Amino acid sequence: MKFVDEAFIEIAAGDGGNGCSSFRREKFREFGGPDGGDGGRGGHVYAVADPNLNTLVDYRYSRKHDAGRGEHGMGSDRFGAAGHDITLKFPVGTLLIDDETGVTLHELLVPGEVIMVAKGGDGGFGNMHYKSSTNRAPRQKTPGRLGEKRALRLELKVLADVGLLGMPNAGKSTFIAAVSNARPKIADYPFTTLHPNLGVVRAGPEQSFVIADIPGLIEGASEGAGLGHQFLRHLQRTRVLLHIVDLAPFDEAVDPVKQARAIVAELKKYDPALAAKPRWLVLNKLDMIPTEEREARVKDFVRRLRFKGPVHPISALTREGCEPLVRALYDAVDALQRAERGPEGPVDARLVKPSGPA
């Protein structure tokens, strides 16, 4: 399935039906009185977070979504029927943004969560609504109200515990394929990853976490250069960032330390809060370095970068060092989840059994 993380749609709730002005006319009923019914309300538009979806591709070409309008009131005390509601299903993690004002209306984070995004118009009153002891033959009626209409911009932020970042060809796709069930495209040229890939990593029995592979960043990504700038927002919900560095680049003129600093600078430009997230350094492609030189190369890199966080030298190709890294990641993610929930806080939204539409 093609990954689509942004779409534009137009939604329209149904208009309310008009009220009716009518009088009872029956044989042997000399004073029938008013019997015009009220109009029915217009249909509402709901949005639901569906955990079975992972892309907005359904809305790439299906852009107009209209609820039903309410029926008009009728004589003989008959009220109009309400218009049919419509429910739009979105992946968990979707932002609903008013395209005209830029205001974020809602963020669907809990599986099964249902919200109303456009309210149907109320039905108008018929003349029987106005009858009283002093107004026995009212002819007033009111039209139905218009339903809400909105142009929405949909943005999907993937929900992952761990996010991968790094330069193109750093080995991110190889790493996620080695430790998870994801099968991204892997090739010996840059920008093989054109959209985020999600994978579930099994750290043990009933122990797992979600990892996201983001397209490679280059210098200037926060201003729109390269591909990664389109997907930096997907890293905002991750708990831990894995900064993967190619420790043995093909071009000897390329300095891995300079590349690593460029990535950190782009994160700070894009979102300081994102740059402040826990970040681990993963030094990849150990298999391309002679065994006797590995320790010295790693120490020299960490010293020059002045990195203070966790450092994990690995080879994603041979899976050397991957298992201890996965175990450490699970322990860190589990600790962060517990801290977020508190001693008796709610469980993680992704672990809640979907309750379905209300």
Residues 82 and 175 in one domain: no
* DSSP 8-state assignment for residue 232: G
Backbone φ and ψ of 200, nearest 5°:
-100, 125
Of residues 209 and 342, which shows the higher confidence score? 209
Neighbours of 186 (CB within 10 A): 15
Residues 227 and 273 in one domain: yes
Give 18-56 pLDDT, tens digit per residue: 999 998 887 776 777 899 999 999 999 999 999 888 788
Contact 42, 71 (CB under 8 A): no
Give 195-232 pLDDT, tens digit per residue: 677 788 888 887 888 888 877 555 544 444 444 456 67
DSSP conformation letters of 125-166: PPGGGG--SS-SS-----PPPPPPEEEEEEEE----SEEEE-
Domain-terminating residue out of 104, 125, 156: 156
Residues 309 and 323 in one domain: yes
Residues 263 and 318 in one domain: yes
Give 273-283 pLDDT, tens digit per residue: 888 888 999 99
Looking at the domain assignment, is residue 358 inside a domain?
no
Looking at the domain assignment, is residue 245 inside a domain?
yes
Predicted local confidence at residue 76, as pLDDT: 87
> pLDDT averaged over the chain?
82
Q: Is the pTM of this model over 0.85?
A: no
Average pLDDT over residues 306-326: 89
Residues 170 and 264 in one domain: yes
Average pLDDT over residues 94-110: 90
Looking at the domain assignment, is residue 356 inside a domain?
no
Tell whether the model's pLDDT for residue 339 goes beyond 90. no
Looking at the domain assignment, is residue 357 inside a domain?
no
Residues 87 and 30 in one domain: yes
Contact 63, 21 (CB under 8 A): no
Looking at the domain assignment, is residue 248 inside a domain?
yes
What is the domain extent for residue 284? 162-351
Residues 254 and 324 in one domain: yes
Predicted local confidence at residue 344, as pLDDT: 52
Predicted local confidence at residue 216, as pLDDT: 56
Looking at the domain assignment, is residue 1 inside a domain?
no
Give 254-271 pLDDT, tens digit per residue: 888 888 888 888 888 878
Looking at the domain assignment, is residue 97 inside a domain?
yes
Residues 103 and 186 in one domain: no
Structural domain count, the chain: 2
Tell whether the model's pLDDT for residue 100 goes beyond 60. yes
CATH code of the domain covering residue 78: 2.70.210.12
Predicted local confidence at residue 354, as pLDDT: 42
In sequence order, what are the residues at sequence separation of 6 or more whose Cβ sits closer than 8 angstroms to the Cβ of residue 239?
161, 162, 277, 278, 332, 333, 336, 337
Contact 48, 114 (CB under 8 A): yes
Predicted local confidence at residue 226, as pLDDT: 45
Residues 169 and 148 in one domain: no
Predicted local confidence at residue 186, as pLDDT: 52
Average pLDDT over residues 71-92: 93
Looking at the domain assignment, is residue 63 inside a domain?
yes
Residues 209 and 331 in one domain: yes
CATH code of the domain covering residue 336: 3.40.50.300
Tell whether the model's pLDDT for residue 189 goes beyond 50. no
Residues 192 and 151 in one domain: no
Share of the chain above pLDDT 90, in %: 31
Domain-terminating residue out of 98, 128, 156: 156
Identify the band that residue 13 occupies on the pLDDT scale cut at 50, 70 and 90.
Answer: very high
Residues 152 and 166 in one domain: no
Domain-terminating residue out of 137, 156, 175: 156
Predicted local confidence at residue 347, as pLDDT: 44
Average pLDDT over residues 103-110: 90
Amino acid identity, residue 141? Answer: K
Predicted local confidence at residue 3, as pLDDT: 57
Tell whether the model's pLDDT for residue 140 goes beyond 50. yes
